[in-house]
Structure formats: C-alpha cells, structure tokens
Amino acid sequence: MGVDADSNKSFARRDELLAIEKKVHAWWEEGNVFSAESCEKPPEPGEKFFGNFPFPYMNGFLHLGHAFSLSKLEFAAAFHRLRGVNVLFPFGFHLTGMPIKAAADKLAREIQQFGDPPVFPVSVEEEEASTKPEKQESTEAQPDKFKGKKSKAASKAGTQLYQWEIMRSFDLDDTEISKFKDPEAWLNYFAPIAVDDLKEFGLGVDWRRSFVTTDINPYFDSFVRWQMRKLKELGKIVKDVRYTIFSPLDGQPCADHDRASGEGVLPQEYTLIKMEVIPPFTEKLRVLEGRRVFLAAATLRPETMFGQTNAWVLPDGKYGAFEINDNDVYIITHRAALNLAYQGFSRIPQKPTCLVELTGHDLIGLPLKSPLTINEIIYALPMLTILTDKGTGIVTSVPSDAPDDYMALHDLKSKPALRAKYGVKDEWVLPFEIIPIIHIPGFGDKPAEKVCVDMKIKSQNEKEKLAEAKKQTYLKGFTEGIMLVDEFKDRKVQEVKPIIRKKLIEIGQAITYSEPEKKVMSRSGDECVVALTDQWYITYGEPDWKQLAEECLSNMNLYSDETRHGFEHTLGWLNQWACSRSFGLGSRIPWDEEFLVESLSDSTIYMAYYTVAHLLHQADMYGENTSNPVKPEQMTDEVWDFLFRGGPYPESSTISSALLKKMKQEFEYWYPFDLRVSGKDLIQNHLTFCIYNHTALMDKRHWPRGFRCNGHIMLNAEKMSKSTGNFKTLKQAIQDFSADATRFSLADAGDGVDDANFVFETANAAILRLTKELAWMKEVMDAEASLRSGPPSTYADRVFANEMNLAVKMTEQHYQNYMFREALKSGFYDLQAARDEYRFSCAASGLNRDLIWHFMDVQTRLLTPICPHYAEHVWREYLKKDGYVVRAGWPEAGAPDMTLKSANKYLQDSIVQMRKLLKKQVSGSKKGSKQGAPMTQLAEDKKLVGLIYVNEEYAGWKLECLRILQSKYNHETRSFAPDAEITEALKNTDVARGMDYKQMSKVCMPFVRFKKDETLALGVHALDLKLPFGEIEVLSENVDLIKRQLGLEHVEVLSATDRDALERAGSLRSLLDQNPPSPGSPTAIFIDL
C-alpha cells in the first residue's frame, strides 16, 4: 500500500512516521500511560474526565467511519489528559444481535450445499467471459480504492454475495473460513484484531476495562440480567401486543441494528376500507362465489369516505384474492397480504392464501358497495399513478378532497379515448359528480377542484404539480377543515377523524392495517413486514418516565442546537420498544429464557460497567480468567444494586469487603460520564434509550452529562461505500498514511453534525508537513550556536511571542468546545505561519534561541491530542524532556496582546499595499494609485527609495463622520441609529455645508457605510479617531523588513502633517493630495536614489 498510485514514488516520509509510531507504542506500553485509577476522595469539578463511545459491532474490521466518530472522543480525552485531568477512556465490543448468527448460519448452509471449500455455480455469462483472453495490463489496486477478494459469482453486478466470498474479503484463507459457521469463532476473531488496530491508531484507552457482550461473557451477562430484572420490578418492562417491524425469515422483530436498510422506520397505521364486490361475479372471480369479496383500500383519511365516487386500481398491477377467514376474501397486492397475515388477517396465520391471481384489468368495472358514501354503487376504475409498494394497491377515490382523484376522474370524464382504452363504460364514470364533504378556508367546499384549477393542472400525469397541490390542501384540511356531512356537520376534521375511524371498525366496514413507513430489509436479506406480536416491551414514552428523560436532557451539554432538536423530536414520538428476540446472540430474558435481550436494550447503561470491568475481568475481555478473585455467580442483584443504585451493603455476599469497597469507589469516582460521542443516527434509538435507562435506574447525580453527535464521513467528497470501492479500513488508512497523518486528516475533516470529508490529499500533506517539521527542528538544533541568545528584544520577537500566546489561548478554547478542526488551525497551521513570518522578519538579526525552543515546546503540546506519536517523539528525542508528552500539561502563556496583534496585521497589510503600488510604478502604470493619480515611471535597474507617509489621526470630513457615528451608536444594542438620522446630522456639519446633498452622498456616505460595517464586525473601537498603536513607531521599527520585502535601498517613515516631510515628495506631491494617508492606511511613494 502507499500514499500515491505511482508505484515509483518513495514512501520514506510515511515510513519514517510509521517507525516513530511503533517506537512510541512501546514507550506507552512500558509506562502504562493510559490506565486510569480512581481516588478515595471524590473528584472536584474538572478533576476527572470519563468519556465513552458506542461499542462497535464485531462482524468485520473497523473502518474510517468508526475512526471519524471515535477521533472526536480521542481528541477530547487526550486534551483533558494533557491538561493533567484524570481521564478514563474505556472501550468495549458489541456482539449482541442477529448479524453474526445470521452470517454464521448462511455460511453453514453454503458449506452444506456447495462443499468445503465450496464450488459455487457459474452462470452462462460468466462461462463465456472466462473464455475471453485476459488483458495483459496492470491490475494493481490503487491505494484509494478498496479491494476485496471476490469470485466472479460474487462480484457480478446484481448478485448477492456468498458469505464465503465475504469472508475471503477479510483476508481469510479457505482453510480457515469453515470454522466461522460457529458464531463463537466470530466472537474470538474480530475483537482482538480491533484492539490491535486501535492501539496502532494511538487510541488512549485503558484496555484493562475492555469486554465483549453476550452470555459468552458471564460477568456482563449477569449485569444485563440484573438490569432487565430491575426494569421489570420498576414496571418499565411489560408484555403487550403491538405492531412491530418484523422479519419473516428470522421469525422475530427486526430492530434498527438488525436492519440492512430502513433504520428508524416505524409502522404506519392505516384504516383498511372494505368495499364489497356486488354479485354476480365476473368469470375471473367465479371461483370466489359464496364468499364475501372486498376490494380493500388503505387510507389515512377515513373521514373523507363520505365523498367516494369510485375506487382506483392500477391496470397492469398484480393483485390476488386472499383468504382472510372462512367467509371473507380481500383483493389486494401480495405485499399487503403478507403484512395482513402477520396481523391476524389470514386463514392460515402468517401464511397468506391466494385463491386466484389477478391484474388490475380484471378489476376494472367491478361494482362496489363502499362504506359512508351516498352513492349506492361505485365502480373500480383505472388510475395510472398508483404505487403498489405502498398500501394495498387499491385506492379509494374522493375527488372533492384529493387532487390526484380529481384529475384522474376528470381525465376519464373528458377523454373518451382513455375510457375506450381500458374498457370503461360511460355509466361507470359520467353520472358521478363531486360530493362536497369538507370546507377548507381559502379553498372552499371543493378544495381539490379549486387547487387544480388555480395551479392549471391539466392531467393526472403532472406528478410534481399534484404533489404540491396535495401539500397545500391536506394539512390545512386536517387542521382547519370543517365537516359538511351527516351528524358531523360543522365539526372540525381533527375532532371527528378518530370517531369516524372507530365507528367504521366497530360496524365491520373497516379494519386496522399497518405496514412499514418505508421499505425495510433485514440483515438476513428479506423484506420486513409489520407484525402484531405478543412480546416484552420497554415502556419508553410513559408520561412520568418521559418527564424524567426530558429533565435529564435539559441539563446535558449537547454542543449543537440540531442535536438537541433531534433528541426533543425523538422523545416526542418514541413509544414502547420491543426488547426481546428469539434469534441471534445475547443474554437471555431472565424470567422468560426462551427470548434474548435485543441488541439496543443490553447497551443502555453499560458505561457504568466500565467502572468495575477491570476488577471483574482481570484484563480478559471474555471474562474467562479462572484466577479471577470474583466469580460470575458472586455478582448477585444485591451486589449490582449496591454498586450502581445506592443499595445497602450486600451482607450475604462472599466477595471480600475490600474489593466491594474498591468497586463502589470506582463507580462513585467516575460516574456520571462526562461525554459520549456518537454518530447522529443513534439519537433516535440508542442515545435516547441511554437517557431513559439512566433516569430509571440511577440517582439523579449519576445521570449523563453530555452527548456530542457528528455526521457521517465521506472519502474525497464521495460517500464511503465498499460497493463503489470508495472505502478504507482503519488498518489500511494507517498503512497508507500512518496513524498521525490519518488522525490529522480526521481532525481536518469537520466537526459539525453535517457529513464531514476525509481527504487523502490532506493526509498526504500531513505526512509532508510533519516530517519536514522534524527535519527543520533537527536543523535548528544542529545550528543552535548560531542562534541569538538572551531574552527576546526585537519587534519580531515580541510579535512571535504574542502569536504563541494567542495560539495557546485560542487552541485551548477550541479543544474545550470540541472543535478540533479549529484547534488544528490555531494550534498548527496559524502557528506554523507565525514561525515562518518570524524567520523572514528576523533575517540578519537572527532567531532568538529561547523563543524557538519555546515554539517547539508549545507546538508539540498543542498538537499532542491530534498527533500524539509525533509529539511524543519530539518531546523525548528532540526536546530531551522527561516523562510523557501526553501528560505534560497545557503550555503556559501570557495574555495575548491584541494591540500588538493589530499592529502586526497593520504592518503586513501595509507592506502588501506598498508592493502593489511599487509594481505599478515600476511597470509604468498610468493608473497610479488606487485613487487614479498619475505616476512617475521608475527604472527597474535603479536603486529606489520608499517614502511612507502616515497620518495617525482622522481629520476633515472623515473626522466629522466618525464623531457623528460615535454619537449615533448604541452600546447596549450594539447598533446604529437609522441612516436618515445619521444623514441629517451630517448635513449640519461645517464640512457638509459646503457640499450639496449629491456631493455629500458621494464623498461621505461610502466612508460612513464602511465604518458602520467595520464597527459591527470588529467592535466599537473601529470608530476611534486613531489606532491603538503608533503607526510611525511600528513602521519605523520595521524599516529593515520593509526594505527586504520591497527590495528598496532606503526607506523613510514620514508624518503627513509635517510640511518639511511633504516637501520630500517633490513632483509626486500630487499623489499625497489625491491619496491622503489616514489612520490604518499609509501612502507610499517611490523615487530613484
């Protein structure tokens, strides 16, 4: 692997960093630097930091997506550790759930079917392809593309991968793969590899506290069982029948982490309207005679059924007549029938029985008797825009209320050719008129007709316009609509909707039907349905419990408004959550061992387990250490209660009192955790569950303090995806770029909740920057004798020292706010720029030795959280410091001198302007200065003198403008009076009396607007009559710098108020008249020596 696709390029710089990292890892291991110990005395605020990260699921290798979220916690923990805070950063591994078990079972089936190693079938296309000569060209993978080991069968587009091929992509040999048909092989393989990868990454983790989940770990299993029993005792777990997203293949509910796609999708509940087919039946339906046959339409708006004029079917849609019970048959899509079968509406539970296959053409013209409508008979008619992956494929038609229905009926009425095409008789369509049922303010009694006419919609095929029409009327119809019919007349739609729905269901003219809001695919590969299941649920959303969760959230630091809104939204809709599963890996429901605890329910308070894990596991993540002083069976509910819930001392426990006291001390010292970092996608489940469970099980002082959520990571501005090859494992990134360059690019990728971007060029540039910096430091140290000794004394010394003070303060602030990209900018990029400017500014006077050594110390510490290996190497090998830089303490710094900062910016900006002006003069520009004055052409080969004229105070009309702006500025509101008031004040000044309004507007107002904008951006000091530093002093002290920068023989700094100085301008005096210098804006002219 390499940092460039060019195989001839040297990787010496990257390899230098990799060698440093290997050496530093040994130092850290020897010093046990990341182990965290509690103290008997409770910590003072800010004395300890406990951060954690959602443990990754171990069915593969860690990738850059993991590393990006993880880096946010790593940088935060490293910052606190650097400052001397006692830091606990533990890391566990999640094995609970179905993906590993499903993959192992799939592998076992492949071995049984195709052999060991398997010989997979090859398609005709692949056989033909294999007979073609292979191109003789390089197939070496580019380092920025993921390369998996796939057979032709596996890699063929559109073909689902065999599990054996997936295992090969993990660099497993065929002789090793078959053992993975046992789920335990997965548990023992990937987690240790992840530990190795994270250590190479430089993660500052206390690995003694690591553990895996599921009942393979008897200590964690005991902890989960205690948690579930306690929730049940508190009434937080109940058994209930509810609609749940369900995998028919797995035979169990499919929670978010069990899904290949559709995370966060919930059941959508409909009212299924039963429209009875009136005999005699058509030939196609003759087999159904003697049964009650219904076209069943799913609707979200049962209150509109009063306005039905017909039903809609998709002419080419595929339908079936499905047995619901011995008497009733529903004509619906196969997909809807499967959902109904799992909701108790099928003669054979969970197995829909289709009595006859149908198409929409078979249904057109069927006479129907439908609930609530004033029409005794309506007909099934063709609609071309029905989606069969939503609802039942049968749609009720209410043209008074629904724009789609109105236009489809309008098309059939107005287009005889369309009726003829689908065999629609006139009497099925023409007699049916719109039935006003709801009055919507602004849209009247026929809102669909009005909005379609207003928007000039001509056809049912204008989908975008119809979607907008629906948007305009539907919500307003629900919130403001007034019923016009029957006993509901004059009542609000939102009031009567549930009443009408209940009535339809009670009289048997409708049923409740549910399906996933969007398509959901399980990790086993099948499309999920909604099932009505009887199982164990956690009662999230219960009012009193929800109130506690809201209280906890209100006191948490979430670092962004968007994150807080996400939690508030989730708390608003989250309801009972199925916490039991019958398939997969995990801990058993202790009182109902037929079921497992599902994967999002065993991972809500495990952060507390970290505090005692090292005492239970003795550095064995699987909990199998036989020499452990605590046995799993000793961890009783009374012990867990004592440790985590403030319960009484467990007198009956056989664990030594000293060890119990130590475990209790660990929890009380570290809890609550200070920060949990996660992708924002976990707000809607795991993170909110974490809040709920802490409020139920723990004392208020142990509730979580902070969550920091981030977006996903893109690679080179494209979505990270194995299928496209735009993918990198963490190990690959380290091999390609080194750990520190990878961390550098992760810090630079972004800090908000929007998706961030890991750029390979940034990582490559980091390799170059870090190694060049090492080379520069060595060069400086080798030449130490040539450096200027003594205390800092020059202007450049003062500026550089000030820039370092500023970098220390700003970078500390950015780290505290967890804005790591900004910390990288202020603590590295800006500091590098300041150092480079210092080197140029010093020139002949030389660099000050103390300042340069201070710079190397400061930059090393500021970069430590992001590039710790590099920093540790510099600390020990270059600076010859004792101890470890990761614990060295935050660098000391004086208060930044912002006046000096402003003065230096003034100097640098002035030099830039002078260079532009000089270039114009030397090139013979006729435009002259920025005000358009003519210039004297200068000879390029002659020695030049620069005369810099400075006016340190405003005068004339500018002075008057500033005084007025000062008087019209409100310090409390930080705003100015209206422009009209400012203009009126200007008219009354002595300067403006000699101008007409047009002249005043042209001369004064641009300056007024500029100073107003500057004040709002920089503060009220922008209105000062002079700068806070002496301009002549700054320029005079830096004459040598100006001479070098501009290539001048001689430079003089002159006062524009000195008449003798003005005489020095000679024939170029006109430049000063047309470009008079003002505070912050000196005027330079150049003459031959």
How far apart, in whole angstroms, are the C-alpha atoms of residue 285 and residue 295? Answer: 12
Pair of tokens at residue 861: 């510490």
- Beta 354-359 vs 252-253: how paired, if at all? unpaired
Q: What is the pLDDT of residues 947-959, one digit of tens each?
A: 999 998 888 888 8
Give the model's confidence band at 960: pLDDT under 50 very low, under 70 low, under 90 confident, else very high: confident
Angle at 1072 between CA 1071 and CA 1078, to 5 degrees: 135
The residue type found at 265 is V
- Asked if the model's pLDDT at residue 236 lies above 90, the reply is yes
Check residue 547 and give its pLDDT: 97
Check residue 994 and give its pLDDT: 67
Phi, psi of 308 (to 5 degrees): -65, 135
Lowest-pLDDT range of 157-161, 192-196, 670-674, 813-817: 157-161
Name residue 395's beta-bridge partners: 312
Check residue 420 and give its pLDDT: 95
How far apart, in whole angstroms, are the C-alpha atoms of residue 925 and residue 940? Answer: 13
Q: What is the pLDDT of residues 494-509, one digit of tens each?
A: 889 999 999 999 999 9
Check residue 1019 and give its pLDDT: 85
The answer to whether 249 and 584 are in contact (CB under 8 A) is no
- Helix, strand, coil in percent for the chain, rounding step 5: 50, 15, 35
Return the DSSP state at 876.
I
How far apart, in whole angstroms, are the C-alpha atoms of residue 418 and residue 119? Answer: 55
- Asked if the model's pLDDT at residue 866 lies above 70, the reply is yes
Name residue 515's beta-bridge partners: 268
- Asked if the model's pLDDT at residue 397 lies above 50, the reply is yes
**Average pLDDT estimate for 1053-1067:** 88
Pair of tokens at residue 327: 């008497």
Lowest-pLDDT range of 31-40, 159-168, 938-947: 938-947
Check residue 287 and give its pLDDT: 93
Peptide bond into 498 cis (omega under 30): no
**Average pLDDT estimate for 405-424:** 94
**Average pLDDT estimate for 1038-1042:** 89
Higher pLDDT: 981 or 1071? It is 981
Check residue 142 and give its pLDDT: 41
Torsion sign over Cα 734, 737, 741, 747: negative
Q: What is the pLDDT of residues 635-669, one digit of tens each?
A: 999 999 999 999 999 999 999 999 999 999 999 99
Check residue 940 and give its pLDDT: 58
Higher pLDDT: 549 or 1022? It is 549
**Average pLDDT estimate for 269-274:** 96
Q: What is the pLDDT of residues 475-529, one digit of tens each?
A: 888 888 999 997 899 999 888 999 999 999 999 999 999 999 999 998 888 899 9
Q: What is the pLDDT of residues 781-825, one digit of tens each?
A: 999 989 999 898 899 999 999 999 999 999 999 999 999 999 999
Check residue 844 and give its pLDDT: 66
Place of tokens 């020897």: 30
Check residue 626 and give its pLDDT: 82
Compute the half-sphere exposure of residue 124: CA atoms within 13 Å on the CB side of its CA: 0
The answer to whether 1084 and 1063 are in contact (CB under 8 A) is no
How far apart, in whole angstroms, are the C-alpha atoms of residue 247 and residue 519? Answer: 12
Pair of tokens at residue 264: 């966060």
Which span out of 569-583, 854-868, 1058-1072 was modeled with the highest average pLDDT? Answer: 854-868
**Average pLDDT estimate for 149-153:** 38
- Those residues whose C-beta lies under 8 Å from the C-beta of residue 752, and which sit 6 or more positions away, are 560, 710, 711
Give the model's confidence band at 937: pLDDT under 50 very low, under 70 low, under 90 confident, else very high: low
The residue type found at 379 is Y
The answer to whether 678 and 54 are in contact (CB under 8 A) is yes
How far apart, in whole angstroms, are the C-alpha atoms of residue 150 and residue 154? Answer: 6
Higher pLDDT: 342 or 913? It is 342
- Asked if the model's pLDDT at residue 427 lies above 70, the reply is yes
Pair of tokens at residue 417: 């050719």
Name residue 706's beta-bridge partners: 557
3-state secondary structure of 1014: helix
Lowest-pLDDT range of 316-330, 380-394, 449-463, 933-947: 933-947
- Those residues whose C-beta lies under 8 Å from the C-beta of residue 355, and which sit 6 or more positions away, are 287, 288, 320, 321, 322, 323, 329
Which span out of 51-65, 923-937, 969-983 was modeled with the highest average pLDDT? Answer: 51-65
Check residue 152 and give its pLDDT: 34
What's the pTM value of the predicted model, to 2 decimals?
Answer: 0.79
Q: What is the pLDDT of residues 622-636, one digit of tens each?
A: 999 888 899 999 999
Instruction: Put residue 208 in one of left, alpha, beta given phi > 0 → left and psi -120 to 50 → alpha.
Output: alpha
Check residue 9 and give its pLDDT: 66
**Average pLDDT estimate for 756-765:** 95
Check residue 24 and give its pLDDT: 97
* Measured distance between the N- and C-terminal CA atoms of the chain, rounded to whole angstroms: 60
- Those residues whose C-beta lies under 8 Å from the C-beta of residue 353, and which sit 6 or more positions away, are 322, 323, 346, 347
Phi, psi of 291 (to 5 degrees): -110, 160
Give the model's confidence band at 1028: pLDDT under 50 very low, under 70 low, under 90 confident, else very high: confident
Query: If you average pLDDT over every residue of the chain, what do you get?
Result: 90
480, burial (CB in 10 Å: exposed 0-12, middle 13-18, buried 19+): middle
- Give the residue from 191, 167, 162, 165 showing the smallest Cα distance to 177: 167
The answer to whether 540 and 575 are in contact (CB under 8 A) is yes
3-state secondary structure of 372: coil
Place of tokens 């290798």: 61
How far apart, in whole angstroms, are the C-alpha atoms of residue 238 and residue 314? Answer: 43
**Percent of the chain having pLDDT more than 70?**
93
Give the model's confidence band at 256: pLDDT under 50 very low, under 70 low, under 90 confident, else very high: confident
- Asked if the model's pLDDT at residue 126 lies above 80, the reply is no
Check residue 979 and give its pLDDT: 87
Over the range 499-514, which residues count as b (16 or more CB within 10 Å of their CB) and which as e?
A: ebbeebeeeebbbebb
Angle at 1035 between CA 1030 and CA 1039, to 5 degrees: 155
